[in-house]
A and B are shown apart, each in its own frame.
Chain A
Amino acid sequence: MSQPDLTRPLAKLLSDSRLRHEFIRDPAGVAHRLAFSPATIASLQELDTRLLEQQARSLLGKRRFEVSRILPRTWHHLGDDAPDLFNEFALEAAWPTGHRRHLLDAAAFCIFLGDRADSIESARIRFTSADRRFALARVGGHGRRGFLMLLRWRNTVRSWLLFTGRSD
């Protein structure tokens, strides 16, 4: 009997922590619910579920690391809360696709964080990921407020910060 393709079921299990935890508790139940073939079920039941979890955490860690590199100021401001906040975000957020996925992930994380993200970094990343030509974003922090003007010129993003006063 030829061995089944495991990439699809594995990708599902590695990317969806709820499904994975359910699978670890009840592998046969999950496999039947997702209509995996008997051969796939047999192969999945051979997996070491501890290592499956470790692989999934490793993937999430790599994803988190890439976002932390794109958002260094936000990551610094969040301090020790940053990894847990990202994990909470990742629980609901879809895994972004394509070669710009880390940028898209960072932009989505900024939206998830709202006011907790560094406003200048957030505006810049959201602008870059959205492929817009021009934007004016309200920014603030460290007791100051103002506007960030963003312009895309020859594949580079240029920005100008205009402080207008002190924030409350």
Chain B
Amino acid sequence: MINENHIFAIPLIGPGFRRPIADWILSGPPEINCVEVTAEHFFGDGHLISLSELAGRYPLSVHGLGLSLGTPGPLDEQHLASFLRVVRTADPDWISEHVAFTRTDEVDLGHLNPLACTRNVLETLVAHASELSDRAEKPLLLENITSFLSLPGEMPETEFLNRLCDDAGCGLLLDVTNLLVNSRNHQFDPLEWLREIEPDHVRQLHAVGYTEDNGVWRDQHAEPIQEDLYELIEEVVRYAPVQSIIVERDANFPEVDELAWELTTLERICESARSHPAAGEIVE
């Protein structure tokens, strides 16, 4: 069931908090409506001081990178405790993590890796997502990742994500760049993929420009958002009750005017999408 208030309201739009643009974010420019902080950037007591400066200025979301929700067995208590400390300081509207694994009891790969879309993995993710949301006392969003590798599974990724959101009572943080990158590397139609996702699950978007090298597409978080991404974002905002969009640039930071222009462009696109909503349908 789609909440009509959300389908007609313009999503909040803002950047991921990064040191090179911290002064700009803290100066309160009008283009920024919300901010996402990466939990692991604030692990360590000293760092929490700067986080408390940010809390209260903007609606925040706390985004995790290393809880490894797809790893069987209990969550890493030490990592979880640090994550929860950041949540308590930031008091965010949402928390988010990935549909992925980053480590096992033997190896910490340090970055996101794909999971097989199986009932066992679904069970693990649902248990971990529920525990995380309960202990943080915040609504949880889970993000689709990009991967070169696809693993043999028992159901399509879209069905897996729908069931995950239903069973864990969480929302989907749809990384539009990851969707486009995967669709190019694995040759599928991103709009068909989107059509298979329950619109009401999609609560937040991530976007950043992709990189392409010899026909291989990557999410290096180092480029401005390209035109085809803006088009896909517009389709998603028209399709689903998205409540916020985060631009997650990690490298090659341009002048802040360019970042502000990206946020303004996203707002214009959202206005266009929301003035012609097509809930449950995608206009191609």
Interface of A toward B, CB cutoff 8 Å: 2-8, 10-12, 14-15, 43, 46-48, 51-52, 54-55, 58-59, 62-63, 65, 69, 95-99, 101-102, 154-156
State in angstroms the CA–CA spacing of A55 and B114 once bound together.
Answer: 10
Q: Are A11 and B106 in contact (CB under 8 A)?
A: yes
Q: Which residues of B contact A52 (CB under 8 A)?
A: 149
Are A15 and B153 interface neighbours, CB within 8 A? no
A65 to B222, CA, bound (A): 12
Interface string of B93-105 (1 = CB under 8 A from A): 0000000010111
Q: Which of A6, A43, A62, A96 contacts B111 (CB 8 A)?
A: A62
- Provided the pairs A7-B72, A97-B103, A155-B44 are in contact, do residues A55 and B113 lie with their beta carbons within 8 angstroms? yes
Is the pair A8, B104 in contact by a Cβ cutoff of 8 Å?
Answer: yes
With A10-B151, A12-B106, A99-B40 already in contact, 4 other A-B pairs whose C-beta atoms are closer than 8 Å: A2-B119, A2-B120, A5-B121, A47-B151
**Would you call B148 and A54 a contact (CB within 8 A)?**
yes
Pairs A–B under 8 Å by Cβ, sample size 26: A2-B118, A3-B119, A5-B121, A7-B72, A7-B115, A11-B104, A11-B106, A11-B113, A12-B107, A43-B151, A47-B151, A47-B152, A48-B150, A51-B148, A51-B150, A54-B149, A55-B113, A58-B218, A59-B109, A65-B220, A96-B110, A98-B108, A99-B40, A99-B82, A102-B110, A155-B45
Q: Given A10, A58, A101, A155, which contacts B108 in the complex, CB threshold below 8 Å?
A: A101
CA distance A138 to B115 in the complex (A): 47
Residues of the B chain whose Cβ atoms lie less than 8 Å from the Cβ of A154: 46
Q: Which B38-78 residues have a C-beta within 8 angstroms of A? A: 40, 43-47, 66, 70-72
**A107 smallest CB distance to B (angstroms):** 15
Min CB gap A87→B, angstroms: 16
Q: Which of B47, B104, B147, B220 contacts A7 (CB 8 A)?
A: B104
Is B278's beta carbon under 8 Å from chain A?
no
Contact of A3 among B103, B147, B153, B216 (CB under 8 A): B153
User: Could you say which residues of chain A place their CB within 8 Å of the CB of B119?
Assistant: 2-3
The main secondary structure of chain B at its interface with chain A is: loop
B-to-A contact residues, CB < 8 Å = 40, 43-47, 66, 70-72, 79, 82, 101, 103-111, 113-116, 118-121, 147-154, 216, 218, 220, 251
- Which of A7, A12, A156 is close to B70, meaning CB atoms less than 8 Å apart? A7
Residues of B within 8 A of A58 (CB): 148, 218
**Chain A residues closer than 8 Å to B147, beta-carbon distance:** 55
Least Cβ–Cβ distance between A127 and chain B, in angstroms = 16
For A156, the chain B residues whose CB sits under 8 A away are 46
Cα distance, A4 to B153, chains bound together (Å): 10
- A70 vs B79: C-alpha distance when bound (angstroms): 22
Question: Contact: B218 with A3, CB < 8 Å?
Answer: no
CA of A133 to CA of B228 in the docked complex: distance in angstroms? Answer: 51
Q: How far is the CB of A132 from chain B (nearest CB, A)?
A: 16
Please judge, given known A-B contacts A95-B108, A155-B46, whether A5 and B72 are in contact too, CB under 8 Å.
Answer: yes
In the complex, A69 Cα to B79 Cα: how many Å?
Answer: 24
Contact (Cβ within 8 A) A14 B109: yes
Closest 10 CB pairs of A and B: A155-B46, A97-B108, A3-B118, A54-B148, A55-B149, A11-B107, A46-B152, A11-B104, A55-B148, A99-B43
Q: Known: A58-B218, A155-B46. Is A95-B151 also a contact (CB below 8 A)?
A: no
Q: How many Å from the CB of B49 to the closest CB on chain A?
A: 9
The distance in angstroms between the C-alpha atoms of A96 and B103, with both chains bound, is 11
Distance in Å from the Cβ of B235 to the closest Cβ of chain A?
Answer: 27
B143 → chain A, closest Cβ, in Å? Answer: 16
Q: Smallest Cβ distance from B48 to chain A, in angstroms?
A: 10
User: Which chain A positions have C-beta within 8 A of B151?
Assistant: 6, 10, 43, 47
Contacts of A102 in B (CB 8 A): 110
Question: Contacts A62-B110, A99-B40: A7 and B71 contacting too (C-beta < 8 A)?
Answer: yes
Query: Shortest beta-carbon distance, B112 to chain A, in Å?
Result: 9
Please give me the residue from chain A that is nearest to B222 by CB atom: A65
B120 with A5: CB separation less than 8 A: yes
